[in-house]
Amino acid sequence: MMDGRDRPSLKTGTLMQVSIVKTNPEGTEAAAQSIGYVVLLATTAAISGFLFGFDTAVINGVLLFLRRQFTLSNLQTEVAASSLLLGCLLGAAGASIIGDRYGRRKSLIFSAVLFAVSSLGAAAASTVDLFSVARLVGGLAIGVASVLTPVYIAEISPSNHRGALVSINQLAIVIGILSAYLVSWRLSRIGENSWRWMLAVAAIPSLAFLSGLLAIPESPRWLLARGRHSEGEHILARIYGAKAAKEQVQAVERAVANEDGSWHEVFSNRMRKRLALGMMLALFSQITGINTVLYYGSIIISEHFPGQSTSMALVANVVIGTANLLFTIVAMIFLDRWGRRGILMTASGGMAIALMLLVIALNMHNVPPVLMLGAILLYVAFFALGMGPGPWLIISEIFPTKVRGRAASIATSTLWSGTLVVTFTFLTLVRVLNLWGTFAIYGLLSFLCFLYVWKMVPETKGRTLEQIQESWGK
């Protein structure tokens, strides 16, 4: 475990921190330019996060029309909603193979093509089966991007800005979610075929993502791990400056010297605790139920909140998406100030309290729908504060360079497994246990998440990726 006592201070910290506190105006200007360059790279990669959020959340509005047009049962509705998530699981499982072999950038280019194909294919689907296949293709794109985008951003980021930079991807995800809700609300006025337009508009950011990827470089740490030293050093020089880049190259080379990058290393004794940590955080982020609100929110509100129409449910989704966005921004501000562990504990504990309030409200008579919506908003806000960005950030930090793609793939596959199980079982659980009983389970799991973070999660704030490996004993 790592604790605060051996974290580097500002004076003795990372190379990027040293460059920022120099009094030389030219050095300060150079540091500002390098940060601007990294932000540009991170933002370009994070367009995949926007597509991730949009494609997963647009189903919330699509299902209202899809159920009517194809007369879907609850089981068929769960299958239609879950087909994307099955693709996410398969894509995440295979991401390490192409990410480690072909590089982060080329693999993300592949995902950009799949995003475009899926959005147009799902929009044109004439049967629910074709719709599900097209959505599965989109899930493959999300799965690959969900593994490799945080890894890419972490590998280009200075340590003292890594939390905020990796969280750009989470910010893009929640912007995508909110955009999906807004698009669904506005296009719902077109009529019964509005769901096709809700899906088709995602082709536009897909092409923007592809264009952006063609202009950015490969991950410098991936290049160095493959022996392409001059290319890797050139990119690091743009981030840290020429002198600091040489020191970074030496640090990376020392770190990868003891790594073989094999699956055997991923499952070795020295990796076991890290792998378990990444998988458990990924699992807790999903089995605490957040996607029941993000994917089925319109059904929950229109069918379980008294007196609420389809239109009002779509408006409520926009309010939920806005809360998700605002508190993700708060998380970005404080992840590098407060650290990962404290925010994760605050988030998971707050989620448990919010869900218990919702359970109480659902069991009382004549409770105004606005109070129930308030409990949901509180739950979403706490999730966005920590359990949204936190697991992605820690997964991108704790694994050695040569196995980072493979280990992150396992952790992310676990995340999508949890998402798939929750999404595929939610309507069935509601039928058996009622809505309050289902959310009581998610509340209990949120409390267990709080206990796990308290006991098991180390602090990685302010460390370079190589320093994190040293603190784990390599």
| Tens-digit pLDDT profile for residues 344-375 | 999 999 999 999 999 999 998 888 888 999 99
Query: In the predicted model, is pLDDT for residue 251 greater than 80?
Result: no
Query: In the predicted model, is pLDDT for residue 290 greater than 70?
Result: yes
pLDDT at 414: 92
Query: In the predicted model, is pLDDT for residue 27 greater than 60?
Result: no
Q: Identify the band that residue 381 occupies on the pLDDT scale cut at 50, 70 and 90.
A: very high
Q: What's the pLDDT tens digit per position in 128-142?
A: 899 999 999 999 999
Domain of 167 in residue numbering reads as: 4-471
pLDDT at 261: 64
CB atoms within 10 A of CB 28: 14
Q: What's the pLDDT tens digit per position in 394-452?
A: 988 888 877 887 888 899 899 989 988 998 899 889 989 999 999 999 999 999 999 99
Alpha carbon 171 to its chain's center = 9
Are the CB atoms for 360 and 219 separated by under 8 Å?
Answer: no
Q: Identify the band that residue 108 occupies on the pLDDT scale cut at 50, 70 and 90.
A: very high
pLDDT at 43: 94
Query: In the predicted model, is pLDDT for residue 127 greater than 50?
Result: yes
Q: Provide the token pair at 54.
A: 């949009």
pLDDT at 30: 52
Cα–Cα distance, 101 to 143 (Å, whole number) = 17
DSSP string, 24-67: -HHHHHHHHHHHHHHHHHHHHHTHHHHHHHHHHHTHHHHHHHHH
pLDDT at 392: 84
Q: Identify the band that residue 318 occupies on the pLDDT scale cut at 50, 70 and 90.
A: confident
Q: Which of 56-65, 171-180, 210-219, 310-319 has the lowest mean pLDDT?
A: 310-319
Q: What's the pLDDT tens digit per position in 150-182?
A: 889 988 888 778 878 888 988 899 899 889 989
Instruction: Name the more confident of 13 and 69.
Output: 69
Cα dihedral across residues 31, 32, 37, 41: positive or negative: positive
Token pair 């540091």: residue: 31
Of 184, 103, 185, whose CA–CA distance to 144 is shortest? 103
Q: What is the mean pLDDT of residues 47-67?
A: 89
pLDDT at 184: 87
3-class SS of residue 3: coil
Q: What is the mean pLDDT of residues 48-62?
A: 90
Cα–Cα distance, 400 to 15 (Å, whole number) = 19
Query: In the predicted model, is pLDDT for residue 103 greater than 70?
Result: yes
Query: In the predicted model, is pLDDT for residue 468 greater than 80?
Result: no
3-class SS of residue 156: helix
Q: Looking at residue 266, which CATH number applies to its domain?
A: 1.20.1250.20
pLDDT at 448: 97
Token pair 């089981």: residue: 75
Q: Provide the token pair at 242.
A: 């020429």
Q: Identify the band that residue 267 occupies on the pLDDT scale cut at 50, 70 and 90.
A: confident
% of the chain with per-residue pLDDT over 70: 90
pLDDT at 258: 63
pLDDT at 270: 81
pLDDT at 240: 78
Q: Identify the band that residue 260 occupies on the pLDDT scale cut at 50, 70 and 90.
A: low
pLDDT at 10: 31
Are the CB atoms for 274 and 472 separated by under 8 Å?
Answer: yes
CB atoms within 10 A of CB 371: 14
Domain count, the chain: 1
Q: What DSSP character marks residue 261?
A: -
Instruction: Name the more confident of 194 and 15.
Output: 194
Instruction: Name the more confident of 420 and 21.
Output: 420
Ramachandran region, residue 241 (left: φ > 0; alpha: ψ -120 to 50; beta: rest): left
Query: In the predicted model, is pLDDT for residue 71 greater than 70?
Result: yes
Query: In the predicted model, is pLDDT for residue 216 greater than 90?
Result: yes
Task: Measure Cα distances from 35 to 153, 209, 234, 468 in Å.
Answer: 13, 21, 16, 22
Largest interatomic CA distance in the chain: 69
